[in-house]
Structure formats: C-alpha cells, structure tokens
Amino acid sequence: MTSSSMSSLQEPRKADMTAWLANPEKAPRPSRIADAVAIGPDGKVYDGLINLQTRSIVSWEVLDGLQPIITIEELQLVEHIVRKDPKVIEQCKISGIAEEDMDKVYCDPWTIGYDERYGSKVRLQQALMYYRPNVDDCQYQYPSTSAPSSTRPLSKAPAVNYHPEGVEKQGGFRKDLKTINITQPEGVSFKMTGRQIEWQNWKFHIGFNYREGIVLNNITFNDKGTERPIFYRLSLVEMVVPYGNPERPHQRKHAFDLGEYGAGYMTNSLTIKNAICIHEEDSGILFKHTDFRDDSVIVTRARKLIIQQIFTAANYEYAVQWIFHQDGTIQPEIKLTGILNTYAMLPGEDTNGWGTQVYPGVNAHNHQHLFCLRIDSNIDGANNTVFTTDAAQAEAPVGSAENFYGNGFYAKRTKLATVGQAKTEYDGATMRSWDLCNTNKLHPYSGKPSSYKLVSREIPGLMPKPGSLVWKRAGFARHAVYVTKYQDDQLWPAGRHVPQTSGDQDLGLLEWAANNDESIDNTNVVLWHTFGVVHFPAPEDFPVMPVEPITLLLRPRNFFTNNPVMDVPPAIASPPARWLPTPRAWPRARRQLHLCRPRERLLPG
C-alpha cells in the first residue's frame, strides 16, 4: 500500500461568495479552504479542510469503510503488480502467452464496483487483461480473459491499427483533402482577465478541479448595458458507464468516471497543464431571410466560443465542450471517441445478445454512458422555479365549440413545486423541456417568466434494473431530472467517496432529494440532469470510434426583449444601398459584407 493524497479548493460558501461578488470592495473575501483527502501508508483514509489564509486545520477526520477516488499512481501500480503475479502468469499460459512474453501483457485497472466478498474496507481494483504482440498494436484487439472460469485463447487475427503505419498497410491515407485555412488575423474576440472571460456579451469564470474538470461560475449576459445573471455554477458532476453483460465477471464493469477516477485527473495532459482549450469557431448561419418578392436578403453568420477539455478514461475519450452562442444559448456537448472496451470470444461463440463481434475474436459488450449535469440556476436572480413544458393537444374534442376543427395544441406548463414532483422523465412525443424560470420577472410582451429552457433529447433510462447494484449506486440516473434546493457542499450526486459503495445507503442526490414534500418553488434551485447514450457496439466503432456527439441546449426564452443578435454585422446584405445609407459610419461591418446585387429571379413570373 502506498500513501496518496488529492486536494482541491472547497467550493466557497455561496452566501459569502454572492455577498463578495455584489460588493467586492466592502464585503469580506470568501475564505480559501483546501479540501484534502489522504490515504496514509497504513491504508487509513483521512478527510480534511485546511484554511489556506490562516494556515489552520478546520477539520480532520479518519474515515471508516470509505474509499476515495483512485489516483493515477494507483492505476499505474496495478499493471506492475499483475504482471508479476504467479496466478496471472499461469492463467496467461493457458491463454497461449509464454512467461517470457509477460511484458506484452497489459491491464486496464478498473474500480471493482462493489464485491460483497470484500466490502469497502479493503481498497480494490479489478484488472481487465489484454495482450499486445507488438508495442504499436491496439491492445483492445487482443483481449484476454480475466477470469479463470472462462478461459479463451488469444485471438490470432492480424492487427488492425489506426496509426499511420497501420493505415499505410490498409491502403494508405486518402489524397483528396485540400488544405483549409482558418485564421483570425485580428486576434481572438474574447478577453481573459485572470480566470474570467468576456466574449460577445457573455462574462463568466472558468475553474477546473480534479473531479469535475471544467467548472463555469457566475455566468452573466450583458443585455444592452445590464449585466443579467443566468447561472451561478455549471459543471458535469458525475457519469456512470454500466455494461450490460450479466455473465460473471462482467457485472462488475460499471465505472463512475468522475467520482471514481476524476474528469480533471484524466484530462490530457495528465499533469493538468493547459488542460482547457478556449477558441472561437464559425458556426454557420445565425439568421437569414430572403424576401421572395424582390430577392432582398440578409445572411448573418454565427460565431461560437468553445471552452473544451478532453479526458481519457483508459480506453474511452470524452471531449467536453461548453459552447457559448451569441444569441444567449449555452450548448454543453460531449463527444465520445477512443476505443471500445473489449472481451475475448471464441470463433462462432454466441454473444447471447450482450455484445457484438466487432473484429474476429473481439466481443464489445453493450453499455451506456450516462452523464450528470448540475445546473445551479440564477436566472435574473437566485429565486427560480422549474416547470416542464410539453406540447399538448387541446383537451376539447373535435366538433366541440372550443376545438371544432380539432387542430388546437398548446405548450402545457407544469410547475415542479416540490422535490417529489420534480423527479421527471423525458418524453420525446411531447418534446418535453425543463424551464428554469424567474416567476418574479415577466416578459413585457409575452407575459411569461424570464427563463432558460433545457433542451435535451438523448435521455435513455438506466438499463440496469431497479434493485440492481448499479441502480442502487447510481441513484442520480433513475430520473432524467431531479431538482433540489441549494445547499452548500451538495455537489457529488453519487456521494463524496464513490469507489466501492454498496448502494445500500442512499448517498448524494438520493439523500438530498429524499424529502419529496420539500418546496422548490421560487427559491435557489439546483437542477440535476442525467443524459447520454446506450451504446450497442458495431464494427464501424473499431479499432477507434469516429466521434459520436451528444448535445444539450440551454436556451433563453422570454428572457430578451427580442432577437438579441440583430446587431451582429451581416455577411450578406442585399441590396446594400437600401440598408447601408452611411456605409462609412460602419467600416467594420462593411469589411465583412459581401455587397451583392439582387439575384435574377428564379421563380417564373
């Protein structure tokens, strides 16, 4: 056993933080408290808080039966231990690997889930075994059985690799791609002041920690001179990847990549230097309209700002993008790529529906990727209320006075007034969205509350059954949405220390959302949203997966007086003579403008 430790800053008490943000000159600066977890050489686990200003210990306790997040040092150690283990060497021999080839044996150390034989007092990892005949071969192509009960010989199929030499062997790189240059000759259009960024009316703080990776705070939008608060804090707070093969030992495969390994820790590079990349991209059309009568047209191009991190969870990669749009939309997007987790299979072996043969001898098991997004909303102030909006047919029947022709439909809004009512699911048929509203601020035209709506359409249910280990441990994934009343320190929905929890005790979100009767009407609400994919692997995912994106939108609704981006200079405005009476007064816009003549009419007549 080695000793290890991890530390980050404790999230400042929100009351102190908001007081300081409102009046940084007069209000005291919130204390900087280090939040530390340490494992001593004796295996004892300690949880502590240290005030960095006063250099004093605020609290320090020994934990019993809890296992903190796995560190990189521990991950690396496992492979060395496993390679030298006589039982592993023997097992490898049975699979056809000679003892002198043990340096070609690799293992991905995974958390164990929960094994009732050992409980949570002993710190455990499981080793998923692979072989690399050649150091440049993709190891996931040569999975080796990790349980003595189910030995299968190593695959003899030729290596299929995605590195340049491998691609050369398969015919080489395509030659029809021409260079595309994307340049910003005048520099970027965002401004960083310390960790605060300003871009196109947006202003927010970019933080980073070992567990969540990117954390965005104090997100505001300058609406014609008024800085309007939107979100206090946005981050991904957990994810779970349950695998769907019930045959031993695969039931153990369900990683909580944030709570058990840390999206910050696993970010490339692992030294967490330059872990975040910030850049702008052209985003196609922002808005456009052609008047069919005279072909006059305005096309305005959109720009987006992307705050990105990529983390590698052994075989898988996750690119997490926080995309900010000029129209007030925030788009969290996760791009899944990397390599499938694989297992050995015999020629002709029945996968029993739990997986797919993606290459000879390679069985990739069905699994899910479920992410939990935490939204601490602040729409025009801290007191917000959540509603669902569903497209609904008019209740009145066809032929009735109110709905004679039967075509009536409307946006059915349902207030989620209590924690119990807020435990909700997605409904694609009604295009359900969740609206974070400030009911104290009504729009002057629509009369509806100022709001941001969460649009999320990839929300599979948790596949492991109620009562199963994953269902118990990943309580946050039982519903698409939970809403709780803000409390300091309620951050980790699967619990503070996730590895080897049995799920027998409600931890994290299950604990915080236990009181179904608690009111969440017009208060500081936190919305927890689980979304993701069910992944049934296919040969196209092998040996490396083309990116699969999952996208969410947080869109302003009844928030702005009207379209907030009409002041973005158009790319095409035609005929300009009508619309740019004083072009010299608008030199920048003119430079970007294609001065077009109206097209010849295409329509007859």
Q: Which residues are catalytic?
A: 257, 316
> Nearest distance from residue 369's CB to Cu ion, in Å?
5
**In the complex, least distance from residue 316 CB atom to ligand ABN, rounded to whole angstroms:** 6
Nearer to ligand ABN, 212 or 257 (CB): 257
Q: Are 577 and 460 in contact (CB under 8 A)?
A: no
User: Is 88 or 255 the residue whose CB approaches ligand ABN more closely?
Assistant: 255
Find the residue with minimal CB distance to Cu ion. Answer: 535
Which lies closer to ligand ABN via its Cβ, residue 2 or residue 516?
Answer: 2
Alpha-carbon distance values, 247 to 365, 432, 499, 501 (Å)? 11, 37, 22, 21
CB of 189 to ligand ABN, least distance (A): 36
Total residues contacting ligand ABN by CB under 6 A comes to: 11
Q: Which is nearer to ligand ABN, 232 or 316 (CB)?
A: 316
453 is an interface residue for Cu ion by CB under 5 A: no
One-letter amino acid of 133: P
Q: Does 314 bind ligand ABN (CB under 6 A)?
A: yes
Q: Which of residues 103-142 bind ligand ABN (CB under 6 A)?
A: 108-110
The gap from C-alpha 375 to its chain's centroid, in whole angstroms, comes to 12
Nearest distance from C-beta of residue 500 to ligand ABN, angstroms: 15
The beta strand positions in 143-201, using DSSP E, are 191-193, 196-199
Q: Which entry of ligand ABN, Cu ion, none binds 108, CB below 5 to 8 A by partner kind? A: ligand ABN
Question: 335 phi and psi, to 5 degrees?
Answer: -110, 120
Nearer to ligand ABN, 140 or 261 (CB): 261
Closer CB to ligand ABN, 252 or 555, in the complex: 252
Residue 74 beta carbon to Cu ion: minimum distance, rounded to whole angstroms? 24
d(CA 445, CA 562): 9
Stretch that binds ligand ABN, among 191-199, 254-262, 478-486, 498-506 (CB under 6 A): 254-262
Whose structure tokens read 């993701």?
532
Phi, psi angles (nearest 5°) of residue 33: -115, 125
Q: Give the DSSP per-residue string, 438-463.
A: EEEEE-TTT-PEEEEEEEE---PPP-
Check residue 313 for interaction with ligand ABN (CB under 6 A): yes
Strand order of the sheet with strand 342-344?
342-344, 362-365, 355-359
Which of Cu ion, ligand ABN, none does residue 261 bind (CB under 5 to 8 Å by kind)? ligand ABN
Q: Could you tell which of Cu ion, ligand ABN, none binds residue 110, using a CB distance below 5 to 8 A set by kind?
A: ligand ABN
Q: In the structure encoding, which two tokens stand for residue 156, read together?
A: 């003899």
535 binds Cu ion (CB under 5 A): yes
Q: Is the peptide bond before 575 cis (omega within 30 degrees of 0)?
A: yes
**Amino acid at position 256, single letter:** F
The interface region with ligand ABN, picked from 281-289, 308-316, 537-545, 596-604 by CB under 6 A, is: 308-316
Tokens of 218: 């104090």
CA dihedral 55, 35, 205, 552 (to 10 degrees): 180
Look at residue 535 and give the partner it binds from ligand ABN, Cu ion, none, a contact being a CB closer than 5 to 8 Å depending on partner kind: Cu ion
Q: How many CB atoms lie within 10 A of CB 303?
A: 16
Of 432 and 535, CB closest to Cu ion? 535
Smallest separation, CB 260 to Cu ion (Å): 17
Q: Which of 88, 186, 72 minimizes the C-alpha distance to 131? A: 88
- Decide whether 109 or 564 has the Cβ nearer to ligand ABN: 109
Is 6 near ligand ABN (CB under 6 A)? no
Collect contacts of 95-103 with beta carbons under 8 A, ≥24 apart.
Answer: 95/131, 95/144, 95/145, 95/151, 95/152, 95/153, 95/154, 95/344, 96/153, 96/154, 97/131, 97/144, 97/154
Using CB under 6 A as the binding rule, whether residue 261 contacts ligand ABN is answered as yes
CB 379 within 8 A of CB 328: no
- Partner that binds at residue 314, options ligand ABN, Cu ion, none, CB closer than 5 to 8 Å by kind: ligand ABN
# residues contacting Cu ion (CB under 5 A): 1
Measured from the CB of residue 372, what is the shortest distance to Cu ion in angstroms?
Answer: 17
Contact 376, 489 (CB under 8 A): no
CA distance 12 to 28: 12
Among 197, 215, 216, 255, indicate the residue that binds ligand ABN (CB under 6 A).
255
User: Restricting to residues 60-79, which ones interact with ligand ABN according to CB under 6 A?
Assistant: 75
Residues that bind ligand ABN (CB under 6 A): 75, 108-110, 255, 257, 261, 266, 313-314, 316
